[in-house]
Amino acid sequence: MRSLIRWLAVLVALVAIHELLSEWLVRENLVSRLLSPGAHTPWLSLVVSSAFFAVRFATLFVLPGAMAWKISHALFFRESDPRIEPPDASRARSTHPERA
């Protein structure tokens, strides 16, 4: 559950950063300079635009799937359930010479 909350916090933080960056960039007109990219493109524009798209793509493409993975994992493999250990690990333990 704790890791789920951590992921949720990351999601909220990224969405907030995305909104703040959108608000700032739409005023500063920095990203549109990438429409004609080249050696002349200001580095600040390049860095900020890359950061914006990294955050946007992470928020849209990575986090929903990662959140779904965490939630489904929490549902299908309850953390308090001792049976959560993978089959390979339990087999390895049972065949350990000291425990055997």
Partner 1 sequence: MSRREYWIRKALCLGLSLSIGFVTPTMVCHRDASRWVADDADTQVSLANGVTAWVQSSELNTRSFSTSAQLFDDEWVFGTYFMAGMGLSQLVLAHPSEREARLPVIDHCIEQLLTERVRAFDTRLWRQDAFQALEHGGSGHVAYAGYLNLLLSLRRSIAPNPKLDLLNDKLSASFEKAILASPTRLIETYPGQVFPVDNMSAVGSIGLRAIALGQPAPSWLGSWAQTMRERFVDPSTGLLYQRVDVATGAPLDAPRGSGTAFGAYMLSFGESALSHELDVAVKRELDAQWLGFGGVREYPRSMSGFGDIDSGPVVFGVGVSATGFSIPSARRLRDGDWQARLLRTSMLFGAPHHRDHETRFVSGGPLGDALMFAMLTAPASPIVPLRRSYPEGG
84 binds partner 1 (CB under 8 A): yes
| Residues 83, 89, 94, 98, CA torsion sign | negative
Task: Give residue 89's Cα distance to chain centre.
Answer: 28
Nearer to partner 1, 38 or 98 (CB): 38
Give the residue from 78, 84, 80, 74 showing the smallest Cα distance to 7: 74
E-strand ranges in 1-100 read none
Q: How far is the CB of 10 from partner 1 (least distance, A)?
A: 15
Position among 20, 47, 60, 92 found at the interface with partner 1 (CB under 8 A): 60
Question: What is the DSSP secondary structure assignment for residue 84, as one 8-state letter?
Answer: G
Q: How far is the CB of 92 from partner 1 (least distance, A)?
A: 13
Q: Which residues bind partner 1 (CB under 8 A)?
A: 22-23, 25-26, 29, 31-42, 45, 49, 52, 56, 60-62, 64-69, 72-73, 76-77, 83-84, 86-87
